[in-house]
Amino acid sequence: MPGYTAPTKDMQYVLHDVLKITEAGIAGYEDLDRDFTAAILEEAGKISTEVLAPLNPVGDTQGCRLENGIVYTPDGFKDAFGKMQEGGWPAIDMPEEYGGQGLPYLMNTAVGEMFSAANQAFTMYQGLTHGAASTILAHGTEAQKQTYLPKMVTCDWTGTMNLTEPHCGTDLGLMRTKAEPTGDGTYRITGQKIFISAGDHDMAENIVHLVLAKIPGGPEGIKGVSLFIVPKVLVNEDGSLGPRNGVSCGKLEEKMGIHGNATCVMNYDGAVGYLLGETHKGMRAMFTMMNEARLGVGMQGVAQAEVAFQNALAYAKDRLQGRDVTGPKNPEGPADPLIVHPDIRRNLMEQKSFVEAARAFLLWGSTLIDRAHREDDRDADGLVSLLTPVIKGFLTDKGYDMTVQAQQVYGGHGYIEEWGMSQFTRDARIAMIYEGANGVQALDLVGRKLGSDGGKHVMAFFDLVKSFAKEHGETDGMAEFLEPLKRASKDLQAAAMYFMSEGMKNPNNALAGSNDFMHLFGHVCLGLMWARMAETSLRALAEATEDPVFHETKLATARFYMARVLPITATHLARIQSGGDTVMALDAASF
Amino acid sequence: MPGYTAPTKDMQYVLHDVLKITEAGIAGYEDLDRDFTAAILEEAGKISTEVLAPLNPVGDTQGCRLENGIVYTPDGFKDAFGKMQEGGWPAIDMPEEYGGQGLPYLMNTAVGEMFSAANQAFTMYQGLTHGAASTILAHGTEAQKQTYLPKMVTCDWTGTMNLTEPHCGTDLGLMRTKAEPTGDGTYRITGQKIFISAGDHDMAENIVHLVLAKIPGGPEGIKGVSLFIVPKVLVNEDGSLGPRNGVSCGKLEEKMGIHGNATCVMNYDGAVGYLLGETHKGMRAMFTMMNEARLGVGMQGVAQAEVAFQNALAYAKDRLQGRDVTGPKNPEGPADPLIVHPDIRRNLMEQKSFVEAARAFLLWGSTLIDRAHREDDRDADGLVSLLTPVIKGFLTDKGYDMTVQAQQVYGGHGYIEEWGMSQFTRDARIAMIYEGANGVQALDLVGRKLGSDGGKHVMAFFDLVKSFAKEHGETDGMAEFLEPLKRASKDLQAAAMYFMSEGMKNPNNALAGSNDFMHLFGHVCLGLMWARMAETSLRALAEATEDPVFHETKLATARFYMARVLPITATHLARIQSGGDTVMALDAASF
């Protein structure tokens, strides 16, 4: 059975040595000193390793089942859910007035990585609840907040997001679900929603569905969509539970992975719904917390890569097969461990250099979100909005690739379910799809974010790279990290310039390169993270750190990334600059 | 349910227009005229579409089951197997004297792609039989051939290959299975083999296991391994079936994919075995047909990419979602089909430009194998031996990636099993692992094949590219295809030079780049295929072909590959030239 050990030390390094969070000047961060975050991370790591990880293969093997209208989660899920509730984990960043702990979003990301790595399918139940509660927090009336939030913060009630219908996913303007006003201020919701994660289950006494629907007579398309609260069990005025509402799970989907999470077809048959926010402003309300939600999915990609890497690494050290080509490393044994072989190293280093930089990127992005919300900093908001599609799209694409590479280390044992490596791959696959498929992320990046506010935010990003390079240009040992970063950043700028000049002439010239641009951008971000970590670790070594091996390892991994991974930016640029013609040349019929 | 249509027209194009097989001067090829191959391909396509493809999801859903020592295949497999036998498909390239049709290996590859695309798990039963029969053909005594081949050629008896043991996969020198001589010329085989594809099942009256084992007292390690024929049911002198042999399936593995194929733990408990070939020369005997076997696995990668692409394309044309950014393409409908969107096109073009060139590469490689065997051409043998790890490793890596991309076109529908896209991905994954994991292919390429015969074969490959470029350098319209090819080929030469100079100093400098080299080589091969197809189609257009759209489409797809895919060779070269230091820097303990 695969294992999981929380990367607490690495997180502490990023939070305190690299990001120096207590000095960040963000409200609430002043409390996040080294001991405090260590205490949280260690506790979260403990429950991840001891409670969540052992249930991961159980959830995969058993899946959920629908019997007589009731959805049952896999054995052990309910108990574990209770333990998570006891620990207060589901909403550590929710406001204290509703029962949360009021911690920054940053800490939610850090512990979320652990929970997701240990058991993604399980963690989604509380993740969806978090998203729904955040939306109610942002758009609900005070009465709605009082009714739902205290229960959702504890996960006594969980939440869901209902967007997709059989004929529409990305293009929600085609939606058919109807919300008929009853005259008493409530609505009757009728329609079918699909792919509803955590749509129904046996771990909570109520489920609060947030449902997008159209009020008849409203504007056509996406502008006529409103958002509704539709509880599974109606809530009485005194807060007690009343009768069942007209909503039920019609079917559970059979999926490639995340079997432990109930992916439901939800049928709304005149269910009572309460408008959340304004009429016809449903999309805006649903997507208020989009940066957080998408960062959370990017985090899932990294989390699966991390747990897959941990296991691949352990296997590579343990499994004896073949001999080191430069001479036996385990001469007493029948063979050397796999890790002596250069191509296994290459594989492991790609994983390691990805997950560590990706983690730093996620945590940095989370500080931007906190700065935007807690300091009302519009520049931070603009920057993280720009980076969000990169975080979501690039990190889930690469995270998936890394789970595939980790699986490869096991040879045939990676393909059989017994070792658990297949599950990491199958679970990681969904993150490239949901919360906006990665093609949509690339489109959002190039078609919307890149030029938003006159390109101000992308310029801010370039300035950030430039000023970092300038600040440390003379620092001993930094040149080998700064030069590749500057080269890659130049490729990114050239790509952005290409879009500006050629995209004007024909939008296809830009959009045909959107996926390459997202990846190019992602590599520059990870390159920046490695340069920052290199600077941090060089400083630590110069200051005679007590843990030189840790910092030397960071430098070696940074070197690998710069030499072996970052050169790909040139290829992405070449692809982008080849334009849209070769992409769009064929008639659909000629394919 | 996903569909499959055999790419007969494209295969005919490659066989006759590009490769001009009847003029190839290979024994047996003179009969392969256009009508003859069309007849075969159409029949194979028919059984693939009508019989094999509908069983593919059945096999995936049901899997195999082991009950009271008997392995049952999924519903319908046995009937379909009978139909394949009736059609004489299992061994069309086997010698006529044993009941085969004596066709070139080339035709086996072409129809094999269809069968694998339609149902990989099913096709493996006959594929393994083919491999085992070929080995007996090459190394068996006349009596062994007479006993086993007529039955195996018809698949009345199927075959297996038994290499792996729990503690050894790649490093077979660690093998523990024993073969004790009984004194009467037979052996008693004892041990456990794992991951035995088609190891047991209910579709044949006998199963002929080829088993690697050590004769006690023989040389240590890999040099003490011999190969044995171990039939499931012993064969009497008159060829009738006798009692069961001491071999049984102990367990079926739960796998990520190819559920319809029984992957068995095989227990040998003093089973009667017959030496095949010479004592202690088992590895050589087992790997005699290695080029064919590995090309066959490369073909599986392409086959899954092809079927996934077909379905993704159909979905992209059918699914209405969003609007073309340059103006509606389906103004009467509620939305435009997915295929209008540039990133969907980019995705589809990547798939299309891969599968078509990969198919040409496989068929060209097959002609080299035929030339080697049928004309005893050692240069052809050397060249295809060099290309074999590229065909196996690169085409299965990329083939898998393409199935993932095809899945992405479906959004959420790609993740649920109902649409079948997940199965293509899960099935394709195994081809990167078995028949020598792709890391081993890369090692074989760089560590063995590149320098074999003093580098003669890689020089021959470069000459082939050069002479093609020279021959068509003045041809109207060829420059745009030849320039990128020459540039990519130069990258490959530079990489080979790097290995020669730096690999001498430290083998890790070469081996750390082995995976990149395999991919670089693969891209140059596909680039060469596209250049050859471009030349063919330019010629057809110049000669006023009756099907200009087909040839224009080839040119457009070639342009896409040259502009959008081939530039990656520069990155692979940069990675290779960065050397082994960053890859090997860390102590195993520091990871």
A347-382: pLDDT as tens digits: 999 999 999 999 999 999 999 999 999 999 999 999
CA distance B122 to B103: 22
Which of B491, B460, B457 is closest to B570 using CA atoms? B491
How far is residue A353's CA from residue A568's CA, in Å, rounded to a whole number?
A: 14
B143 touches A: beta carbon within 8 Å: no
Q: Is residue A459 part of a domain?
A: yes
Distance CA B457, CA B381 (A): 9
Using CA atoms, how far apart are residues B316 and B296, in angstroms rounded to an integer?
30
CB contact set of A541 (below 8 Å; sequence gap of 6+): A548, A551, A552, A555
Cβ neighbours of A347 in B, within 8 Å: 439, 515
| A169/B321 Cβ within 8 A | yes
Q: Counting one residue from A and one from B, how many pairs have CB atoms under 8 Å apart?
A: 266
Q: B103: domain CATH number? A: 1.10.540.10
Q: Is the pLDDT of residue B170 over 90?
A: no
Are the beta carbons of A591 and B418 separated by less than 8 Å?
Answer: no
C-alpha–C-alpha distance, residues A135 and A132, integer Å: 5
Determine if the pTM surpasses 0.95.
yes
Average pLDDT estimate for A532-550: 97
Nearest to A528 by CA among A499, A558, A498: A558
pLDDT of residue B97: 96
Q: Which residue of chain A comes nearest to B344, CA vs CA? A: A439
Pair (B469, B564) in one structural domain = yes
User: Residue A385 above 90 pLDDT?
Assistant: yes
A22: contact with B, CB 8 A cutoff? no
Q: Which residues of B are catalytic?
A: 435
Q: How confident is the model at residue A389 (pLDDT cuts 50, 70, 90)?
A: very high
Dump pLDDT digits (tens) for B204-244: 999 999 999 999 999 999 999 999 999 999 999 999 999 99
Where in the sequence is the domain holding A571, given as residue range(s)? 452-584
Whether residues B102 and B17 share a domain: the answer is: yes
The percent of residues above 70 in pLDDT, for chain A, comes to: 100
**Same domain? A118 vs A188:** no
Question: How many Å separate Cα B405 from the centre of its chain?
Answer: 20
pLDDT of residue A515: 98
Specify the pLDDT at position B287: 87
Strand (E) or helix (H) holding B251: strand B247-252
Is the model's pLDDT at A59 over the cut of 90?
A: yes
Residues A133 and A169 in one domain: no
pLDDT tens by residue, A60-86: 999 999 999 999 999 999 999 999 999
- Among A9, A36, A11, A23, smallest CA distance to A101 is for A36
A429 vs B337: CB contact, 8 Å cut-off?
no
In this predicted model, what pLDDT tens digit does every residue of B394-408 receive, in sequence order?
999 999 999 999 999
Contacts of B239 (CB under 8 A, 6+ apart): B147
Residues A118 and A183 in one domain: no
A375 burial (CB, 10 Å; 0-12 / 13-18 / 19+) is: middle
What's the average model confidence in pLDDT over A485-494? 98
CA gap B145, A57 in Å, rounded: 47
Residue B415 lies in a domain: no
Chain B interface includes A477 (CB < 8 A): no
- For residue B503, name the pLDDT band (cuts at 50, 70, 90): confident
Contacts with B, A 308-367, CB within 8 Å: 313, 317, 320-322, 325-326, 334-335, 337, 339-349, 352
Give the distance from residue B241's alpha carbon to the nearest chain A alpha carbon, in angstroms.
34
Check CB contact under 8 Å for B426 and A429: no
Nearest residue to B381 via CA among B469, B452, B463: B452
Over 90: is that where the pLDDT of A473 sits? yes
Q: Say whether residue B39 is in contact with chain A using an 8 A CB cutoff.
A: no
Contact by Cβ (8 Å): A424, A407: yes
**Cβ-count burial A539-574 (b if 16+ within 10 Å, e if not):** ebbeeeeeeeebbbbbbbbbbbbbbbbbbbbbbbbb
In the chain, the amino acid numbered A466 is K
Mean pLDDT of B426-452: 97
Residue contact B559–A411, C-beta within 8 A: no
Asked if B347 contacts B340 with a C-beta cutoff of 8 angstroms, the reply is no
pLDDT reading at A169 higher than 90 = no
Same domain, yes or no, for A456 and A580?
A: yes
Mean pLDDT of all residues in A110-116: 98
**CB distance B433–A411 less than 8 Å?**
yes
**Residue A334 domain flag:** no
Q: What is the average pLDDT across B575-580?
A: 97
- Collapsing DSSP states into helix, strand and coil, what is residue B229? strand
Does B549 fall in a domain? yes
CA dist., res. B377 & res. B371, Å (int): 6
How far B293 CA lies from chain A's nearest CA (Å)?
17
Give me the amino acid identity at A45.
G
B132 and B165 in a common domain: no
pLDDT surpassing 90 at residue A287: no
Tell me the CA distances in angstroms from B17 to A94, B40, B530, one per residue in order. 67, 17, 13
Does B167 sit within 8 Å of A553, measured CB to CB? no
Q: Is A178 on the interface with B (CB under 8 A)?
A: no
- Other CB atoms within 10 A of residue B38 CB: 16
Q: Are residues B126 and B176 located together in one domain of the fold?
A: no
Could you say which DSSP state residue B2 is in? Answer: -
In a domain, B402, yes or no: no
Question: A223-253: per-residue pLDDT in tens?
Answer: 999 999 999 999 999 999 999 999 999 999 9
User: Greatest CA separation found in chain B?
Assistant: 83
Do the chains contact at B417 and A254, CB–CB below 8 Å? yes
Give the integer Cα–Cα distance in Å for B242 and B229. 16
Residues of B in contact with A514 (CB under 8 A): 342-343
Note whether residue B489 is domain-resident: yes
In a domain, B432, yes or no: no
Contact map slice: A 396-415 vs B, CB within 8 A: 400, 404, 407-408, 411-412, 414-415
Question: In this predicted structure, what is the pLDDT of residue A1?
Answer: 86
What tokens appear for B239 in the block?
């060829």
**pLDDT of B504:** 83
In three-state form (DSSP H/G/I as H, E/B as E, the rest C), the secondary structure along A524-580 is HHHHHHHHHHHHHHHHHHHCCCCCHHHHHHHHHHHHHHHHHHCCHHHHHHHHHHCCC
Predicted confidence (pLDDT) at residue B363 exceeds the cutoff of 90: yes
Beta strands in B143-224 (DSSP E): 157-162, 178-181, 187-197, 206-214
- Chain B CB contacts of A559 under 8 Å are 582, 585
Q: Count of CB atoms within 10 A of residue B206's CB?
A: 18
- pLDDT number for residue A267: 98
User: Is A249 part of a structural domain of the chain?
Assistant: yes
Query: What is the model's pLDDT at position A170?
Result: 86
Burial (Cβ within 10 Å: 0-12, 13-18, ≥19) of residue B96: exposed
Q: Tell me: pLDDT of A420 over 90.
A: yes
pLDDT for the residue numbered A292: 94
Domain CATH for B166 = 2.40.110.20
pLDDT of residue B289: 85
Which residues in chain A touch residue B164, judged by CB atoms under 8 angstroms apart?
412
Mean pLDDT of A38-62: 98
CA-to-CA separations, B73 to B68, B69, B123, B261, in angstroms, rounded: 14, 13, 13, 8
User: What is the structure's pLDDT at A31?
Assistant: 96
- Give the residue from A281, A298, A326 where a domain finishes: A281
Could you tell me the two tokens for A483?
Answer: 């030069």
Q: Note the pLDDT of residue B288.
A: 84
Whether residue B414 contacts residue A400, with contact meaning beta carbons closer than 8 Å, is answered with no
Do residues A98 and A166 both lie within one domain?
no
Please say whether the beta carbons of B127 and B159 come within 8 A. Answer: no
Examine the domain organization and report whether A202 and A249 are in the same domain. Answer: yes
Asked if residues B119 and B56 have their Cβ atoms less than 8 Å apart, the reply is: yes
Q: Does residue A141 have a pLDDT over 90? A: yes
Domain count, chain B: 3
> Do A184 and A86 share a structural domain?
no
Distance CA A361, CA A365 (A): 6
Q: Are residue A201 and residue A275 in the same domain, yes or no?
A: yes
Contact B203, B77 (CB under 8 A): yes
Q: CA–CA separation, B423 vs B403, rounded Å?
A: 9
pLDDT bin (cut points 50, 70, 90) of residue B131 is very high
Phi, psi (rounded to 5 degrees) for A9: -65, -45
Question: What are the structure tokens assigned to A583, written together?
Answer: 């992409």
- Mark which of B88, B108, B139 sits at the end of a domain: B139
Indicate whether A525 pLDDT > 90.
yes
Closest chain A C-alpha to B587 CA, distance in angstroms: 9
Q: Are A588 and B317 a contacting pair at CB < 8 A?
A: yes
**Which one of B105, B139, B173 terminates a domain?**
B139
